[in-house]
Amino acid sequence: MKDRLEFHPWRALHGSTLEDGFSAMKSTPFFSNLKCRECGRLYPKQAIHVCDFDFGPLEAAYDYEAIGKVLSRKVIESRPHTMWRYRELLPIDGDPTVGAEVGFTPLIKADRLAKILGIRELWIKNDTVNYPTLSFKDRVVSVALSRARELGFEVVACASTGNLANSVAANAAAAGLKSYVLIPADLEQGKVLGSLVYGTQVIGIHGAYDQVNRLCSEIAGKYGWGFVNVNLRPYYAEGSKSMGFEICEQLGWRIPQHTVVPMASGSLLTKIHKAYKEFIQLGIVADTPFHMHGTQASGCAPISHALKRGTDIIKPVSKPNTIVKSLAIGTPADGYYAIHSMKQSGGSAEDVTDEEVVEGIRMLAEYAGVFAETAGGVTVAGARKLIESGHIGAGDSAVLCITGHGLKTQEAIVGKCGAPRLIAPNLREFEEKIYAPDAAAASI
């Protein structure tokens, strides 16, 4: 049985005809339908994302009874270290044909940062080194583009604040799909270049992300392209669950007491929450108490502000004003559900100023050795405030989800980390200006 379920991404990539595990999986409908989160109506597994009757989001539905018969810790541990080791819980029918190597990023125990933040135990889920484009978006794109191929799309596209554009561009290039990425025209240079280099069509829109998003919805409706976060969104969003699965496995098959997640649309937080619940339902982890916490930048914090007001009615932000462009979504699609995930789990939300974001980036770098983009600064600075306010107990354990690499948003910290000290290439100047042996000896 174990052999029949074993998954080899390289076989998938190179078209092996071997009678391997995937062949067995194809005939087993683990992923059964799309289902409206609001009214529960079932839909076929097509490129659709909202319910015809109430516009509620469609979500992948699974046959957990069938999954429970084949998926176990032992089976998962026997597979390659990628996000696809949990493939029964991801919504494609056949082999993953795009991004088969994505995921299983490090979970780092960050003792020095824990001490600075004032918490007993702290872990960093480090998606700054996710493959291939250094952000968690590689997870969602791997699922979305694999599904796009199954559905026969030849053109794929996205609305993006940067990281998603990078990942769609790279993975589409590798897969031989034509791609268009639509972004606000004022994004960081690293994120623009990080898309252009792959030969994708980069379309800069004179407007905020929400305007880009609306345009993409209209294009998707008119031209039928595979927009990963519009008509392929039910598949795309599920990819984020893999971050939650990995956290549990890397902690030794347990759910962390606290998980701190940056929020833009709110999707990542809801999907990590879903991952924890699925593992509990399947008996893969114990049903222990856990709390989901969300963080935003104060210049665009519609979800955090709603939760703090004690409501699930999101007041949209018409003009986001923050250096954290990757989280600058004024009308968050999953805000309502993110609020309910936080409330159901006894979690909380926090938002931080741009100055605190820069402090967060520096703390993460100086005390954990991880260089994160601005969203990472939001997570660290938000976690610090949640610990200070007692929402996360000082004696507890927490995981911080760090979602993108700092080289992508260098503008945020240029001039705020000092500058190199410049000297002539000789020992005399080194000893005069940099390191005086007598003074060093005296200080020992």
Tell which one of 331, 340, 343, 362 touches other proteins (CB under 8 A): 331
Q: 183: closest CA among 209, 153, 149, 150?
A: 209
Tell me the C-alpha distance between 229 and 47, whole Å: 11
| Backbone torsion region of residue 89, taken as left when φ is above 0, otherwise alpha when ψ lies between -120 and 50, otherwise beta | alpha
Q: Is 21 in the site for other proteins (CB under 8 A)?
A: no
3-state helix vs strand vs coil in the chain, percent to 5: 45, 15, 40
CB atoms within 10 A of CB 286: 10
Per CB under 8 A, which region of 173-181, 206-214, 283-291, 436-444 contacts other proteins?
A: 206-214
> Cβ closer to other proteins: 58 or 364?
58
| Sign of the CA dihedral running 186, 188, 193, 195 | negative
* Alpha carbon separation from 63 to 34, 60, 128 (Å, rounded): 12, 10, 33
> Cβ closer to other proteins: 29 or 224?
224
Q: Is 67 in the site for other proteins (CB under 8 A)?
A: no
Tell which one of 230, 248, 297, 339 touches other proteins (CB under 8 A): 230
Tell which one of 12, 108, 145, 216 touches other proteins (CB under 8 A): 216
Q: Is 74 in the site for other proteins (CB under 8 A)?
A: no
Cβ of residue 57: shortest distance to other proteins, in angstroms? Answer: 4
254 within 8 A of 286, measured Cβ to Cβ: yes
Residues 154-193 that bind other proteins (CB under 8 A): 159
Cβ of residue 101: shortest distance to other proteins, in angstroms? Answer: 24
Q: Is 428 in the site for other proteins (CB under 8 A)?
A: no
Tell me the C-alpha distance between 32 and 35, whole Å: 9
Backbone angles phi, psi at 150, to 5 degrees: -60, -30
Q: Is 226 in the site for other proteins (CB under 8 A)?
A: no
Q: Is 334 in the site for other proteins (CB under 8 A)?
A: yes
Cβ of residue 142: shortest distance to other proteins, in angstroms? Answer: 17
x/- string (CB under 8 A) for other proteins, residues 231-250?
--x-----------------
Q: Is 348 in the site for other proteins (CB under 8 A)?
A: no
* Angle (CA) 213 214 218, round 5°: 115
> Cβ closer to other proteins: 5 or 182?
182
Tell which one of 10, 55, 223, 430 touches other proteins (CB under 8 A): 55
Q: Is 369 in the site for other proteins (CB under 8 A)?
A: no
Q: Is 367 in the site for other proteins (CB under 8 A)?
A: no
Tell which one of 3, 4, 42, 52 touches other proteins (CB under 8 A): 52
* Alpha carbon separation from 177 to 15, 157, 166, 218 (Å, rounded): 18, 10, 14, 21
293: three-class secondary structure by DSSP: strand
Q: Is 272 in the site for other proteins (CB under 8 A)?
A: no
| Sign of the CA dihedral running 235, 240, 244, 249 | positive
The footprint of other proteins (CB under 8 A) covers 38, 48-57, 159, 209-214, 216-218, 220-222, 227, 229-230, 233, 264-267, 316, 318, 329, 331-334, 336
